[in-house]
Amino acid sequence: MSDSYYDPKDLRKFPKITEWSEEVGTKFFDYYGKVFEKGALSEREKSLIALAVSHVVKCPYCIDAYTQDGLQRGITKEEMMEAVHAGAAIESGATLVHATQMMKKYDKLSH
Amino acid sequence: MATKSLLARKKLMAKAEEQLKFLSNGIFNNELPTFKNQLEKINDFPLKPKSLEILQLNLGYMCNQVCEHCHVDAGPDRKEIMTKDTMLQCLEVIKSTSAHTLDLTGGAPEMNPNFRWFVKEAAKLGVKDFIVRSNLTIIRANKKYYDLPQFFKKHNVHVVSSMPHWTRGKTDKQRGEGVFDKSIKALQELNAVGYGMPNSKLKLDLVYNPSGAFLPSNQEALEQDFKIALKEDFGIEFNSLFTITNLPISRYLDYLIASNNYEDYMYKLVDAYNPAAVKNVMCRNTLSVSWDGWLYDCDFNQMLEMKVNSRIQHIKDYNEDQLQDRTICISQHCYGCTAGAGSSCQGSVV
């Protein structure tokens, strides 16, 4: 066993999850592949969305994968960083918008 | 960024035998299958040529640039240049070959002192597709090269040029400071004489190879991005974009090792191995001729000094029937041509 929770080499083993649960594993990978095909959004746009979400969900495997995917697609570092900020802004906004709850409660309980 | 070739810097990876030794050991001892293993699985070992389509001549390793990923290890310090005698031998072969494409490469082929003479003579022989691989900056490097666009036009040359990205930063990082601006200027000059323009017969294609330890993405999608960006930002037009995977040899191999990316990159190539690409790898329809007239299955094998496996090994003894009966020399670098949609000097192959 590795003495680290995250080993970059484990990303290559991702497809193996189907070995312990073939039906849902296969369905997941089919779905995943379909989602990232060109549709109303380009594959390039989807790659940037995936990169932003990878940061929000703090998945090191996904960050590695979608940084590389972006490089392969010719996405610049400026575009990548803007995408990460868009994700971060939503994430911090999601925290801050709860401040309205705090304010409401504060006002209710205070004179 | 280095200003001298690996050879001038006396680096270990300047030596072909050291590169081959490196590529055949380490992770290929037990972790990863060798390229030979893969061919055996699909009953394609030994790999044999198909009909000859492309004759690629390397006019010399001298170049005005020292690109970070150059598989030729070209640069201003390289003095290997094809002589007029060897060029005459090549012309004799061009007269009788069944290849429909003549492909001149380097270094910067334009720096060969007999380049223009050779182009004029070869153009007379009625080759269907006559390619010159121009690095673009050579057109702006010195006054004596300023008229190259007109010269190419006069001889109906098909220009294929490297362009790693549509942004200055990425291009200059791979190819050197100032390369982007000079390349843009050269492309505009090629457009001005008709190259790459809609309805023009003068073809201008660009070659993209990744500027780092990653593989190229879909060729069509990248072509679209290049076309939009170059048109919007600089008014530049071109015909097609060829995506080329960096092969782990020479300066690129040196970079992979130095940046601790070698193993990850080889895993990527092996994971992306596509048996369907084997059918169309360029070594099956190409012959590569070195500056000193030796024959190779491809330009990469030339740099690894893996001469054709045939009794005919030099242009002076050229015999197409015997050469077509050879088996193709392979090593682990061949994974670069079979990853994903495959890779060749004409872009993806699947």
Q: Is B350 part of any domain?
A: no
Q: Is B343 part of any domain?
A: no
DSSP single-letter state for residue B101:
E
Q: Is A2 part of any domain?
A: no
Q: Is B192 part of any domain?
A: yes
In the predicted model, what is the mean pLDDT of residues A1-11? Answer: 84
| The predicted structure's pLDDT at residue A1 | 61
- Using DSSP bridges, classify how beta strands B241-243 and B204-208 pair: parallel, antiparallel or unpaired: parallel
Q: Is A33 part of any domain?
A: yes
B221 CB near a chain A CB, below 8 Å?
Answer: yes
Which of A12, A72, A76 has its CB closest to that of B217? Answer: A72
Which of A43, A44, A74 has its CB closest to that of B165? Answer: A74
Which of A42, A44, A72 has its CB closest to that of B214? Answer: A72
Which ipTM was obtained for this model? 0.78
Which domain, by its residues, includes A84?
A: 20-109
B216 CB near a chain A CB, below 8 Å?
Answer: yes
CATH number of the domain residue A50 falls in:
1.20.1290.10
B267 contacts A72? CB cut-off 8 A: no
The reported pTM is 0.90
Q: How far is B45 from chain A (nearest CA, A)?
A: 28
| The predicted structure's pLDDT at residue B170 | 81
Which domain, by its residues, includes B43?
A: 12-337
| pLDDT tens digits, A38-91 | 999 999 999 999 999 999 999 999 999 999 999 999 999 999 999 999 999 999
Q: Is A79 part of any domain?
A: yes
Q: How far is B133 from chain A (nearest CA, A)?
A: 23
pLDDT at B177 over 70: yes
Phi-psi region of B235 (alpha: psi -120 to 50; beta: other; left: phi over 0): left
Task: For residue B140, give both structure tokens.
Answer: 């702006």
What is the total count of domains within chain A?
A: 1
Distance (Å, rounded) from C-alpha B207 to C-alpha B236? 15
Report in angstroms the alpha-carbon separations of B140 from B3, B59, B70, B274: 19, 20, 20, 40
Q: Is A51 part of any domain?
A: yes
Q: Is A11 part of any domain?
A: no
Query: Mean pLDDT score of chain B, rounded to an integer?
Result: 95
pLDDT range class, residue B109, cuts 50, 70, 90: very high
